[in-house]
Amino acid sequence: MTNTSKSVLLVMDVQNRIVEMMGNNEGYLNDLEQAVAAARKANIPVMYVVLGFREGLPEISPTNKRFETLKSSGFAFTASDPGTAIHPKVSPQAHDYIITKKRVSAFAGSDLEIMLRVMKIEHLILTGLATSGVVLSTLREAADKDFKITVLSNACGDRDEEVHHVLVNKIFPAQAEVLTTEAWAAGLNK
């Protein structure tokens, strides 16, 4: 049986507005829902990482091309913005953790690393939107921090299917184990 006591499932940027921007892919949401259910069944903690800013977006620098574009588009990702909420298909439960970040990586501007260290987590299972955004940035930073990493390929999504394919099949395997949700869940029961 896989040692799950030092693992955590990260569900990253699966917020209403981002899911909408990615095309409301029902197949993706079903695969992610399966991953969350498998983690809970195996007593693996689930952490939701969300993008969130203060009203008025003072954390967004005009020199940050990605977030300045977000700011000018009217997508605020503030507490008062309904698009900021986690998609209801994978809603957190009372014992889950919600980590708010200020940049692309789940570690940037958040208390994620503190929570992982306090919980003695050694293995991150990554899911989220987008593969070329939060998943890639978090994977790189987590590898530099010496975490063991698994990426659930079908529980990650990207607007560009070719970019997603290249990342999960050619780039990520150098630093992480890449599995489907089904293969990962099956391995939890061995």
The CATH superfamily assigned to 7-188 is Isochorismatase-like (3.40.50.850)
76 compared with 181, residue with greater pLDDT = 181
pTM: 0.93
Which pLDDT does position 82 carry in this prediction? 87
In DSSP notation, the chain reads: ----TTEEEEEES-BHHHHHHTT--HHHHHHHHHHHHHHHHTT--EEEEEE-B-TT-TT--TT-HHHHHHHHHT---BTT-GGGSBPGGGPPPTTSEEEEESSSSTTTTSSHHHHHHHTT--EEEEEEE-IIIIIHHHHHHHHHTT-EEEEEEEEEE-S-HHHHHHIIIIIGGGTSEEE-HHHHHHHHT-
Model pLDDT for residues 108-163, shown as the tens digit of each residue: 999 999 999 999 999 999 999 999 999 999 999 999 999 999 999 999 999 999 99
53 compared with 132, residue with greater pLDDT = 132
Instruction: State yes or no: pLDDT of 55 exceeds 90.
Output: no
Instruction: State yes or no: pLDDT of 39 exceeds 50.
Output: yes
Which pLDDT does position 190 carry in this prediction? 66
For the record, the structure tokens of 18 come out as 């981002």
Which pLDDT does position 1 carry in this prediction? 40
Q: What is d(CA 116, CA 124) in angstroms, rounded to the nearest whole number? A: 9
